[in-house]
Chains A and B, each alone.
Chain A
Amino acid sequence: MTAEAISQSRTGGDFWDGVRLSMPVVVASAPFAILFGAIAVDSGFSVLEAFLMSAMIYGGASQMVGIELFGQHVAPWLIVLSIFAVNFRHVLYSAGIGRRIAHWPLLQQALGYFILTDPQFAVAEARAVSGKPVGFVWYLGLGLPVYVFWVIESGLGAVFGKLIPDTHALGVDFLLPIYFLGLVLGFRKRPLWLPVVAASAAASIIAYKTVGSPWHVSIGAVAGVLLAVILPPHHSGIGERP
């Protein structure tokens, strides 16, 4: 075997290594993609718009937030701001993974950042920590199936959502709060979780009753974040690391 042939077969192996690791993510995200499509249509999106949102934003929680606010007829710029806020955590992933992929050609890096989701970061960072190289082909093998299935299933959910006769009986209108509660509880191991959630909940309810929707989102979020900033750093468990 020539060196080139070996390198090629290795490249193919890297791709399928990534695909194998992507499968649990594909399976776990499928119901949410379908749910997103169905709720998007229920909130007034067309099938094409639901499909486009998944293809262009590619961030489950933020898409759900966008749909929820769209359904409440919130001002467009506030919807975009809320999408930005929910996705803001990617800044940390980006800074982290940037150290691993800085040697890729620029276009590959640009594409790599586009598909940088929570699981993409988690799996790629775990590989880097274990001492293996994070190559573009492997990274694409990990991310591409998740992306393709996410977009197709969103479209299917949107088509299917139009066929649901009684959305109230199936609880479609209240599935998002349940989903968001699940996400909030998923963060419960983070430092300051309880005080942040309590502050955001209280502030958003007060704002909802006084100022009104949609300002309860921004006001509640700012209250929680400010509390985390104001509390002394030793409470947040940050800065104690060696």
Chain B
Amino acid sequence: MSTTFWIILAGAIATYLTRVGGHLVISRFENIHPRVEAGLNAVPAAVLTTLVAPAVLGAGPAEWAALIVTALVSLRGGLMPMFLAGAAVLILARQFVG
């Protein structure tokens, strides 16, 4: 079995634990402490930000243009229009900037 397969299997088990764990663990507590809940709420944005920020630093004009357009479209549209607009700008800009 390849390393990749084990990563996938372990990732699947970890994911299933999050999906069944809330019911098994959290629902036993009457109240979640507000600070814990605030921390849990912050997890997705915190993790995903770390995948964007360093990429922004290492990028060039084509990538920056794409990210700026993505952010602007996000003020109005959902995830899909936002992503398509950003991707379109990226592909277009790379034809000129490389």
Does A160 interact with chain B (Cβ within 8 Å)? no
Q: Is A98 an interface residue (CB 8 A)?
A: yes
In the complex where A174-B90, A177-B55, A224-B49 touch, is A49 in contact with B83 (Cβ < 8 A)?
A: no
CA distance A223 to B63 in the complex (A): 26
**Contact yes or no, B57 A205, CB < 8 A:** yes
| Cα(A79)–Cα(B51), bound, Å | 13
| Residue in chain B with minimal CB distance to A224 | B46
| Interface bin, chain A | 35 or more
Q: When the two chains form the complex, which single residue of B11, B41, B66, B80 contacts A228, counting CB atoms closer than 8 Å?
A: B41
Min Cβ gap A60→B in Å is 10
Q: How large is the interface on B (under 10, 10 to 19, 20 to 34, 35 or more residues)?
A: 35 or more
A21 CB–B CB distance under 8 Å: no
Question: Of A79, A221, A239, which is within 8 A of B47 by CB?
Answer: A221
Which residues, 214 to 242 on A, are CB-close (under 8 Å) to B?
A: 216-217, 219-231, 233, 236, 238-239
Closest to B81 in A: A182
A154 within 8 A of B: no
Known: A65-B51, A80-B7. A58 touches B71 (CB 8 A): no
CA A134 – CA B78 in complex, angstroms? 27
For A238, what are the chain B residues with a Cβ–Cβ distance below 8 Å?
34, 37-38, 41
Pair B19/A116 contact, Cβ less than 8 Å:
yes
Q: Is the CB of B41 within 8 A of A182?
A: no
Instruction: With both chains docked as a complex, state the minimum distance between the C-beta of A1 and any C-beta of chain B, in angstroms.
Output: 37
CA distance in complex: A34, B72 (Å): 25
Residues B54 and A49 in contact, CB atoms below 8 Å apart: no
Q: A52-B8, A171-B94, A216-B54 are in contact. Are A181 and B70 (CB under 8 A)?
A: yes
Q: How far is the CB of A36 from chain B (nearest CB, A)?
A: 13
Contact with B along A165-203 (1 / 0, CB 8 A): 000111100111111111111111011110011011111
Q: A44's closest neighbor in chain B, by CB?
A: B4
Least Cβ–Cβ distance between A43 and chain B, in angstroms: 10
Q: Tell me the residues in window 61-114 of chain A with beta carbons closer than 8 Å to chain B beta carbons.
A: 61-62, 65-66, 68, 70, 76, 79-99, 102, 110, 113-114
Q: With both chains docked as a complex, state the minimum distance between the C-beta of B95 and any C-beta of chain A, in angstroms.
A: 7
Does B12 lie within 8 Å of A57, measured CB to CB?
yes
Given contacts A52-B5, A177-B63, contact A196 B52 (CB under 8 A): no
User: Please, which residues of chain B bring their CB within 8 A of the CB of A191?
Assistant: 38, 41
Given A56-B9, A238-B37, is A187 in contact with B91 using a C-beta cutoff of 8 Å? no
Beyond A49-B5, A226-B39: 20 further Cβ-contacts under 8 Å?
A44-B4, A45-B4, A49-B8, A65-B47, A70-B7, A80-B7, A80-B14, A83-B11, A87-B15, A88-B40, A89-B40, A89-B44, A90-B18, A91-B21, A178-B66, A178-B67, A182-B70, A201-B49, A225-B42, A229-B42
